[in-house]
Amino acid sequence: MEQTPALLVAESPLDGRPTRIQEQLQDDLKQVRERLRTLVTPPHPLVAGPVTHAVEHTGRLLRPTLVLLSSYLLQEERDKEQDEERDEGRDAARHRGVIDAAAVVEILHTATLYHDDLIDEAAERRGGPTANAKYGATLALLTGDYLLARCMQAAASLEIPCALPVAETLVEVCVGQMLESSRLHDPLRTEEDYLSAVSGKTARLMRTATMLGALQCGASQNAQEALESFGHNLGMAFQIWDDILDICGADTGKPAAQDLVNGVYTLPVIYAVKDFPDRVLPLLREQPLSPGSCREIVSVLHESGAIGRAAQVAQQHVADALRAVESHPAFARRAESVGRQLRGLIDSLLAQHSALKAPPDSARSRHQPGDVTTGDRSTETLIRDWLDEYICQPHEHLGRTGAVCPFAAPSLRAGSLEIRTRRAGPAPGVAGVTELIRQALDEFDLIAWKGSNPALRSLVVGIPDLAAHECRLLDEAHRAVKSSAVRRGMMVGQLHPLCADPSARNPGFPVNRSPVPLVAIRRMALHDVLFLTDRKEWFEEYHRRFGHHYKPGRDALDPLFVEKFQRACAEYGVGA
């Protein structure tokens, strides 16, 4: 039997043995599988094949786990050593209702997958053949319809009937899929269009899973709404992550970038179209999309930070999901366990690819501006991968040969590039972000640097809790701190998913796009004449440090450097 990861653990035992709640979850999931087989058994053996295929390839049972998780949250702690009287018959009936509700959700989910595979003409799912590939489109379609009928039948026969909410869920799932299908091959699909479709086709079913767990346990309306918020936000995050994994070519059981080929333009593509229309739109309008065009689009998604921006949206949904559980008094006894185990589940998903960024802490307000986070490996890994895959590589739009930043690779080899993480805080402003950069400048001088070459020392400070719409604060803070940094002989660069700063040799290429908002700090270098001629005070500091390189007779310098230097000398009367 497939091992399903537990989401809910009371405490992690030091000896590695499963906890009581883990054991309960595994036992309950086993019962869910048994009920699935019972509820969908067809009345005739000739059609048993595709139906059996459905229940034997159910994956990790995530949605039934959410039903169970929600019911556990609403249970009172049961201490075996306490001698409390309780109605065991009522408890058993409630437990049966929860198991059946979990099975209902999985039957509905499986039916939608049968129809999805037909729409996509998919031949493979989870590493095996789809029902339509194995039994043909007609039988797969009828099996999906049969499963929907069985789902409604089982929902109506629960002790606490839930046929109406299940029917409403099916309506929203269909509408979500219709919204997506209506925008196939539409390069102007908006973020709002995308999120509306995801809310219906994916998040609605997870929301229903948590709702059914609450209903079968007699939850209050307030507690039920909190659990629905939890399920909805988790569903939104999971779909965004699934769309990112499709682009990144992770092991999803489907060919890489299949959504792109099928004309389903997901959130990273939408962001790239918005930021790089001249590069992306002509490629998307080529139909059918050639393998070369597909690779080029995927390349733009990586370089532009579009994938990181999409991951940030997923992060916020996860934070909202956790907050819904952790802040509600009805779940006080178990909220900590749920939060811990949910993060464990998320970490296992993030491990599939570096493009999936770790979520921020659910209680963002716990962090004050400038707080240093240690051990934020996912953010550091994301930055390191971006350095390796973009900053240290050549790029056709730079207007010159060589890496995007020629110093990064030598700095990494020398062990002289430090990556740190700081928090902007719950309500970031220009003053707070400016102070964060000033602290990072001071920190630069205190680092026990590796390597003997001071010119290779670089400090990269990621600010993962700075949302996409807050990146302008980083631009403003950079402008506020640049003069004081230059006086110290330092250079500060701001990089983020929306950064508009262009390449020095190609004004049309926004070179400073990164998957996470960050600042990069290093000592002033010879090539910084490209960035220090806009103000007299900046250029005077540069001239003081590097003016001797421009003495007559030296012809090894880049002609662009010489042109910028001489023009600034004439404009500001420096060195006359």
At a CB cut-off of 8 Å and minimum separation 6, what does 375 contact?
Answer: none
Domain CATH for 116: 1.10.600.10
- Omega of the bond prior to 359 within 30 degrees of 0, cis? no
Cβ proximity of 199 and 176 under 8 Å: yes
DSSP state, 422? B
| Torsion from C-alpha of 234, 235, 241, 246, nearest 10 degrees | 160
Tokens for 392, please give them: 């240290």
Let me know whether 176 and 27 are in one domain.
yes
- Omega of the bond prior to 464 within 30 degrees of 0, cis? no
pLDDT in tens, 78-103: 333 334 445 666 778 888 999 999 99
Of the three residues 362, 393, 413, the one that is the final residue of a domain is 362
What residue type is 40 in one-letter code? V
Looking at residue 11, its pLDDT comes to 41
Let me know whether 422 and 456 are in one domain.
yes
Distance of CA 119 to the CA centre of its chain: 26
Domain span at 401: 377-523
Is 563 inside a domain boundary? no
Of the three residues 219, 239, 257, the one that is the final residue of a domain is 219
C-alpha–C-alpha distance, residues 412 and 79, integer Å = 54
Let me know whether 179 and 31 are in one domain.
yes
Looking at residue 371, its pLDDT comes to 45
Cβ burial, residue 562 (10 Å; 0-12/13-18/19+)? middle
Let me know whether 339 and 413 are in one domain.
no
Q: Phi and psi for 514 in degrees, rounded to 5?
A: -135, 155
Looking at residue 533, its pLDDT comes to 94
Is 1 inside a domain boundary? no
Let me know whether 111 and 238 are in one domain.
no
pLDDT in tens, 243-291: 998 888 654 445 678 899 999 999 999 999 988 899 999 999 988 898 8
At a CB cut-off of 8 Å and minimum separation 6, what does 384 contact?
Answer: 419
Cβ burial, residue 575 (10 Å; 0-12/13-18/19+)? middle
Let me know whether 246 and 300 are in one domain.
yes
Let me know whether 148 and 226 are in one domain.
no
Cα separation values, 21 from 10, 60, 191, 522, Å: 6, 18, 39, 51
At a CB cut-off of 8 Å and minimum separation 6, what does 264 contact?
Answer: 180, 184
Indicate the number of domains in the chain: 3
C-alpha–C-alpha distance, residues 482 and 221, integer Å = 53
DSSP state, 307? H
Per the listing, tokens 């196939």 go with: 184
Looking at residue 21, its pLDDT comes to 66
Looking at residue 58, its pLDDT comes to 74
Cβ proximity of 518 and 460 under 8 Å: yes
Let me know whether 230 and 300 are in one domain.
yes
Let me know whether 268 and 143 are in one domain.
no
Let me know whether 355 and 440 are in one domain.
no
SS3 letters for 377-403?
Answer: HHHHHHHHHHHHHHHCCECCCCCCCCE
Its sign, for the CA torsion 153, 154, 157, 162, is negative
Is 85 inside a domain boundary? no
Cβ proximity of 466 and 517 under 8 Å: yes
Sheet with 518-523: strands ordered across: 417-421, 458-462, 518-523, 490-495
When comparing pLDDT for 120 and 1, which is higher? 120
Is 225 inside a domain boundary? yes
Is 263 inside a domain boundary? yes
C-alpha–C-alpha distance, residues 415 and 30, integer Å = 50
Percent pLDDT > 90 in the chain is 44
Cβ proximity of 249 and 257 under 8 Å: yes
| Torsion from C-alpha of 503, 505, 508, 512, nearest 10 degrees | -10
In this prediction, residue 6 has a pLDDT band, given cuts at 50, 70 and 90, of: very low
Is 203 inside a domain boundary? yes
For residues 292-308, average pLDDT: 87
In the predicted structure, residue 335 carries a pLDDT above the cut 70: no
Cβ proximity of 200 and 173 under 8 Å: yes
Radius of gyration of the chain (CA): 28
When comparing pLDDT for 502 and 378, which is higher? 502
Tokens for 132, please give them: 């339509």
In this prediction, residue 345 has a pLDDT band, given cuts at 50, 70 and 90, of: low
Per the listing, tokens 């034997």 go with: 56
Let me know whether 308 and 352 are in one domain.
yes
Tokens for 99, please give them: 């198991």
In the predicted structure, residue 418 carries a pLDDT above the cut 90: yes
Let me know whether 48 and 112 are in one domain.
yes
C-alpha–C-alpha distance, residues 62 and 154, integer Å = 19
In the predicted structure, residue 431 carries a pLDDT above the cut 60: yes
DSSP state, 207? H
Of the three residues 219, 254, 275, the one that is the final residue of a domain is 219
In the predicted structure, residue 374 carries a pLDDT above the cut 60: no
Is 565 inside a domain boundary? no
Is 5 inside a domain boundary? no
Q: Phi and psi for 335 in degrees, rounded to 5?
A: -60, -40
Share of the chain residues as helix, strand and coil, in percent rounded to the nearest 5:
60, 5, 35
Looking at residue 356, its pLDDT comes to 67
In the predicted structure, residue 65 carries a pLDDT above the cut 70: yes
Tokens for 291, please give them: 């393998």
When comparing pLDDT for 318 and 372, which is higher? 318
Cβ proximity of 350 and 303 under 8 Å: no
